[in-house]
Amino acid sequence: MKKKTATLATEDDLLIDLTFHRLPASLIFEFAEKIVRPYYRNNLNAAFQDLIHKALADEDFVLSHITHIKTTET
């Protein structure tokens, strides 16, 4: 009997479809006009990925500074 080798997908390999509910079309249109078209060559997918990555980086930055402040105050 042959052994099957199980491989786990890395986070980069996991792709999902994303659906937004109750998001105004005007907001997406404005995002596309002001950000996606000039900076991402109309690649909405890349723009959303970059937006999410930057939001997470900002969150990490803020949390690291809050933790730093809390540890220096005590």
Task: Write the DSSP assignment of 27-59 as a string of letters.
Answer: HHHHHIIIIIHHHHTT-HHHHHHHHHHHHHHHH
Residue owning tokens 């404005």: 30
In terms of Cα–Cα distance, which of 45, 14, 41 is closest to 28? 45
Question: Which residue ranges make up each domain of the chain?
Answer: 30-74
**pLDDT tens digits along 8-44:** 666 667 888 889 899 999 999 999 999 999 999 999 9
Task: Decide if 47 contacts 39 (C-beta within 8 A).
Answer: yes
Measured between alpha carbons, how far is 52 from 18 in angstroms, rounded to an integer?
Answer: 12
**pLDDT tens digits along 65-74:** 886 666 666 5
